[in-house]
Structure 1
Amino acid sequence: MIVFEYAPNGTLFEHLHIKESEHLDWEVRLRIAMGIAYCLEHMHQLTPPVVHKKLHSSSIYLTEDYAGKISDFGFWNEATMAKMRSTGIDDTPSTDPENNIYSFGVILLEMITGRLSNSLDDGPLVAWALEFLERKRPIKDMVDPTLKTFQEEDLEKLCEIVTSCVHSDPNQRPSIREVTAQLREITLLPPDRATPRLSPLWWAELEILSTEAS
């Protein structure tokens, strides 16, 4: 058994998709995205690279200061588990870095739109968002309606990142280093501001998770 530092604010999935959870504003979502990118970059640059096998918004835990922590484990409460089952999310593990890039693109879309990654009504989120990403419809119209404010310039750049991440050809997807650099241009957040501020165990935990996954 491995014990990790407690992340008291639940998962990203809960905050995006379960009404009872606290709402995340635009700036908080950007910080979470930046933190996830830094973590994936760290994992992918290990020798050999370590790939997260089931990267979903449900595997991103939020600390006391709402920084994202990647986990391989599903400590979901009953409400989250029921919601996940209803979406038909594919839990088949993936072992290629390119699949992590795709999954990260989907998580970015979830944070932008507030929609499930896959729903019975609309199908896969990527397919639903395609008209917006291809600029056939205004991208601001796909933004989560619960967001009171957001930066349109940031949205444009984020959608460019998403489009590259979910490219149908895995070989055409960017590396996580490229994604991280692009996100940092948007957020202006270095690692020490995107990762948990009060967690000296943060990188140690990530190393343990990486060892377990390899």
Structure 2
Amino acid sequence: MVFEYAPNGTLFEHLHVREAECLDWTARLRISMGIAYCLEHMHQLNPRVVPRNFDSSTIYLTDDFAAKVSDLDFWSDAKGGWNPSSATDDSTISDVDGMVHRYGTILLEILTGKVPYCEEEGSVEQWASGYLDGSMSVAEVIDSSLGWFPEEAARALCEVARSCMDPDPKKRPQMAQVAARMKEITALEPEGATPKVSPLWWAELEIMSSEGS
């Protein structure tokens, strides 16, 4: 499998590595929206595609800071190969619900600038629980390195993250609903969230074969 080179490294590096360029509010919106569109597309495929390793370290950024979900290690059976016919509907639905939850935690990571987990504060979800239950203000939650940010949009995005991380999987939205709500908040169409050189970036994965000499 061949992936287009993403020269700006990973989302994790830009959020948590001091030497990397800090992402401004606009860049974070575009990245969040791009990830949502990508997962929506994956979940609409037949069979649905569920990345096994999905976090900020497997989201790569292009030269214009568009997000590319990469490192797709598909669910495999005991023999090491994944057969869509061997997966039950229930297990696929469970995996998709898990991706929605992971999207919520990544969105929260983007908004807060907090690492996914540290010993002192626990997970970013645990750290932000004060805001999610109403005891912290949005200004206390959003990454302080951003400086100014639109509070109304920040609150709306935090609510998207909260809904994705609902403890009851049945109450979580589908990725299509998440992408639609994110589009309302960010006003970003797919064309605005994807690399300028690759409008169909989620369909770029190709299996390449060399011709015999």
**TM (normalized to structure 2)?**
0.84
Moved more, 23-32 or 118-127: 118-127
Superposed, 1:14-163 pairs within 5 Å as 14-72=13-71, 96-163=95-162
CA contact (8 A) 1:53 1:95 kept: no
Aligned residue pair count:
188
Distance 2:203 2:43 in 1: 16
RMSD of aligned alpha carbons? 1.8
Q: Deviations over 1:110-155 (max 9, x none)?
A: 1111001111111111111111012111122111111022110101
Distance 1:191 1:158 in 2: 18
In structure 2, what is the Cα distance between the partners aligned to 1:121 and 1:73?
31
Q: In the TM superposition, what is the alpha-carbon distance from 1:199 to its structure 2 partner?
A: 2.1
Classify the secondary structure of the residue corresponding to 1:28: helix
Per-residue deviation, 1:3: 2.3
CA offset at residue 30 of structure 1?
A: 0.3
Q: CA deviation at 1:63?
A: 0.3
CA–CA distance in structure 1, aligned partners of residues 187 and 130 of structure 2: 29
Could you say if the C-alpha distance between residues 3 and 145 of structure 1 is closer, same or farther in structure 2, counting changes exceeding 3 Å? same
Q: Percentage identity across aligned positions?
A: 52
Contact 1:133 1:139 in 2 (8 A): no
**1:169-210 CA deviation, whole Å, 9 max, x = no partner?**
1111110001001100011111011011112662332576xx
Runs of 4+ with >4 A deviation: none
Q: 1:148 to 1:3 in 2, by over 3 A?
A: same
Whole-angstrom distance in 2 between the partners of 1:181 and 1:200 = 19
Q: Which runs of 5+ in 2 are unaligned?
A: 74-92, 208-213
Return the alpha-carbon distance in structure 2 between the equivalents of residues 163 and 95 of structure 1.
Answer: 18
Matched residue, 1:179: 178
Cα shift readout 1:16-51 (whole Å, capped 9, x = no counterpart): 000000010001000000000000000000111111
Q: Which runs of 5+ in 1 are unaligned?
A: 75-93, 209-214
